[in-house]
Amino acid sequence: MTEGNTWPRLSAPLAGSLVALALVAYTSYLDAYDTEAFYRSVQEDEYLEWGTFWAFVLAAAVNVLGAVRQRRASGGLPWFLLGVSAFCVVVAMEEISWGQRVLGYRPPAYFLEHNFQQEFNLHNVISSDLRKLALKLVIGGYGIALPLLGLVPPVRRLLDRLSIVAPSAAWIPLFAAAYWIYEDYPWKFAGEVVELMLGLGFLFVALERSREFASAPALPRPGGQALAMVIAGTLSLGLGMAQASVSRFQRGASPEAIENARQELEALKRDFFANAENGLLPVRCSVHKRLYTYVERYEQRFLTRGAFAALTQQGLPDARAEFFIDPWNNAYWLRTKCSKDRRKQRVFLYSFGPNRRRDSGRWELAGDDIGILLRRSPPEAETNTSR
């Protein structure tokens, strides 16, 4: 404790562990007491995703700085830190689908067909089991096993000769907490929180290790207070980017595109009702999926040859028709809710709209999302809505 300061100085690893606990507590609270806020927080283009992006971007930059310093200090090739930096760049860009929603471009057909999220990223093309295993290996290998090996003197000397920079063992609790959450998955979308924790962990380790290779360190020793500033800055960047994404509405809100979306949703509605039997729509209950995924998974081929498909004769691009893509190159979505006897249904279709992000809640359209209601319970209360 410094003179005149009544606050104890937290070590960086302790502060990082407290951050991990705070994220767990915050997410648990939202999941239990404010499910709508929780749902919004874990969506694409929200502050958790953008916070993760900036954590990995900053970690990549600091690791490059560390690699330069390691090269000057040892003369060897800093391949490990450069590799970690490259890994962080790839994760950051995968997190935002390589700018697809920001720029509004349409991914190649391969990704629309084989990526269940219909986005331009590689990790969702890989099988779910392999993807989960890879993330566990990264967390457990880099954040837990490598620091433990670094505690063994002969192994540490070998790592130094190989230019492998192991994280300090003091960071193990943060990575172990991330591993436990990912393994246990205590709430839905827990992976989003794990990704943010992992990004912050890589950033914290990079800050600490970069300083060690500097003869006259330009970076301060990352104590708890400095770390708090780093965390606040990273999350502020995430929140700022989430808010800035709303401004994309101005770039994509052409009246023609909005009218096209409404016409396409009307055509899809006609396709659903053309295949209704005894007043029941051909939909499954409790579904929230991209329309293309719904067609493929449940073999609802009638949607590929009806009124929506016929819009190609009026100028609808074949790629958009085949993969059910809206005018802003995002997927059309289907949401359903049914009673136990399936005679009471609530079904609607929607697009993310001009700003290319989901603004709606779990069952209500909001923001600039454009949607159409197919069925409201009871049936006689049914109305059509387009935004």
What does the pLDDT read at residue 172?
A: 92
Beta strands across the sheet bearing 345-351:
288-290, 333-338, 345-351, 370-375
Distance CA 76, CA 381 (A): 73
| Better pLDDT: 39 or 55 | 55
Give whole-number Cα distances, 18 to 15, 59, 130, 224, 239, in Å: 5, 19, 30, 10, 21
Q: What is the mean pLDDT of residues 218-224?
A: 49
Does the pLDDT value for residue 349 go beyond 60? Answer: yes
Query: Which pTM value belongs to this model?
Result: 0.78
What does the pLDDT read at residue 266?
A: 96
Q: What percent of the chain has pLDDT over 70?
A: 81
Q: How confident is the model at residue 254 (pLDDT cuts 50, 70, 90)?
A: confident
Q: How confident is the model at residue 361 (pLDDT cuts 50, 70, 90)?
A: confident
What does the pLDDT read at residue 310?
A: 95
Q: Which of 105-109, 293-297, 337-341 has the highest mean pLDDT?
A: 293-297
Distance CA 105, CA 325 (A): 11
Does the pLDDT value for residue 218 go beyond 50? Answer: no
Q: What is the pLDDT of residues 107-144, one digit of tens each?
A: 888 888 877 777 888 877 788 888 899 999 999 999 99
| Better pLDDT: 46 or 268 | 268
Distance CA 20, CA 25 (A): 9
Q: How many residues does the chain have?
A: 387
Range scoring the smallest mean pLDDT among 14-23, 126-135, 278-287, 339-348: 339-348
Q: What percent of the chain has pLDDT over 90?
A: 40
Token pair of 269, please?
């509605």
